[in-house]
Amino acid sequence: EVQLVQSGAEVKKPGATVKISCKVSGYTFTDYYMHWVQQAPGKGLEWMGLVDPEDGETIYAEKFQGRVTITADTSTDTAYMELSSLRSEDTAVYYCATVGILGGRSFDYWGQGTLVTVSS
């Protein structure tokens, strides 16, 4: 059974950095890209970027370029998303999600989400 388990909720001050983890099981970590998606309170989903765990290559959405770093640790089958220079607008639930396990280019398995609250 494919599972993505994310780290717990975080509260950060403006200007700080947050790093969220996503530990996977039930499939070969290096076979599929890991993506991250942001969902602000009461808002829709927004794609942030991806990492290829096989070689560490990343692609980021322009909106988050320069502030987001997505990495993968193949020794622990864990992906990470780090967001820096936090501001109030970054308060959101962040999801990791795989693409392609079920075929095609859809987000087929999701983590449970991690709430990040940015507040002074």
Partner 1 sequence: QSALTQPASVSGSPGQSITISCTGTSSDVGGYNYVSWYQQHPGKAPKLMIYEVSNRPSGVSNRFSGSKSGNTASLTISGLQAEDEADYYCSSYTSSSTLHYVFGTGTKVTVL
Q: Point out which residues bind partner 1 (CB under 8 A).
A: 35, 37, 44-47, 50, 59, 61-63, 95, 102-108, 110-113
Smallest distance from partner 1 to CB 81, Å: 15
| Cα–Cα dist 114/96, whole Å | 9
Residue 3 or 14: which CB sits closer to partner 1? 3
Name the nearest CA neighbour of 34 among 17, 18, 55, 19: 55
Q: What is the DSSP string of 20-47?
A: EEEEEESS-GGGS-EEEEEE-TT--EEE
Smallest distance from partner 1 to CB 16, Å: 25
Residue 16 or 71: which CB sits closer to partner 1? 71
Residue 50 or 86: which CB sits closer to partner 1? 50
